[in-house]
Amino acid sequence: MAIANDAAAPAKRQNPSRSGFGLRAEVHDEIRNDFDSALVQRIKASGGTHQAGRLTFRLAQEFGFCYGVDHALDLAYETHVRFPNRRVYLTGEIIHNPTVNEQLARMGYCFLRPGDEVTADDIVLIPAFGAPTHELERLKRIGCLLVDTTCGSVVHVWKRVEKYAREGFTAIIHGKYDHEETEATRSRTTLYPDGKFLVVRDRVQAQDVCDYILGRGSREAFLARYAAVATPGFDPDRDLQRVGLANQTTMLSSESLEIAEMIRRAIEQRYGPEEVKTRFRSFDTICSATQERQDAILKLIEEPLDLVIVVGGYNSSNTEHLCEIAAERLPTYHINAPECLVSAREIRHKPAFSKEETTSWDWLPEGPVTIGITAGASTPNKVVGDCIERIVALADVG
């Protein structure tokens, strides 16, 4: 329940606010002004195609801000209006987009750093990814007002992981160990004394788990590789007997489903079909917005395109996967800002499956060009529109 005023009792102020402060209508125009694009709205209204001289742009049917991001920004802006004279911290990037985080910094939001003296008079925003349980408990003990923007899809995963821990199943989480969301999700196992987790990044690592379940490989080799991404004291002989699958919500859906089936088959082969129900749990926890954007890029690249531009933060997991999907068929460039479009010849981008930005040349062909455009779930329409306008200007076809 939202906390309505500065004078709220300290005990109530410890409860995270998720529903806002009743100011959504008041902040709507400001959010739209900061992050929306008239150009993108016109393109959507015209069926997703935009013609500019020799350039044809085709927008994916689904891209950009999802409902979780909209909710997080509503809460951030409402907090700014409701408490204009209070110090407000963010425990981390509210979403993975530099434009959004820079805007919040201009509004006065500060990132919470080690050693910062947070007091009961301060406000702390929990990002859309959530926060680890130990961090939430520490902030509650301080008594500061917590504004919790954690995405509902992430909370759904938490409930699943907590259920696994409560029932004695090890949570195998398909995700990126150091990603804020996965960090928060794996921490939910600590709510139960015997809770366990193991994080796997991809099919290759999932196959290692399957092999161990099937009695292949050595305990020492397995722990040397995976102890750092598992519960302290993880024992594969004990902790892989009963497992439940979950996902970081922004992973590649097809890979998550394949990993779940790989491990189910290993359990069946090791213990027999009659034991699967008592030793294996699985639930697809990819969020619907992530799935919709992945489905949309798959549909888009079926059209005749010359290249694809994917717009979004370089540390955005769901944006990375859009790039990976498109790159299987077409020249694809993941950029995080219009400034990456240096010239009609030069582009700075992060290639699929790469961790570093690079520079490529002659990315924009001569003559008629059809460009597919998509964007991650944390990317404002304004950035997408600015990128389209930048490409038009570089091609000198205004």
Q: Any idea which residues carry the catalytic annotation?
A: 181
Measuring CA to CA, which residue among 60, 58, 90, 85 is closest to residue 72?
Answer: 90
Q: How many CB atoms lie within 10 A of CB 103?
A: 19
155-194: string of b/e by CB count within 10 Å (b at 16+)?
Answer: bebbebbbbbbeeebbbbbbbbbebbbbbbbbbbbeeeee
CA distance 146 to 13: 7
CA distance 54 to 397: 7
Q: Identity (one letter) of the amino acid at 360?
A: S
CA distance 234 to 350: 35
Is 244 in a helix, a strand, or coil?
A: strand
CA distance 26 to 267: 54
CA distance 68 to 74: 10
Judging by beta carbons within 10 Å of its beta carbon (0-12, 13-18, 19+), is residue 295 exposed, middle or buried? Answer: middle
Is 347 in a helix, a strand, or coil?
A: strand
Secondary structure of the chain: what % helix, strand, coil (to 5)? 45, 15, 40
Tell me, letter by letter, the H, E, C secondary structure of 102-169: HHHHHCCCEECCCCCCCCCCCEEEECCCCCCHHHHHHHHHHCCEEEECCCHHHHHHHHHHHHHHHCCC
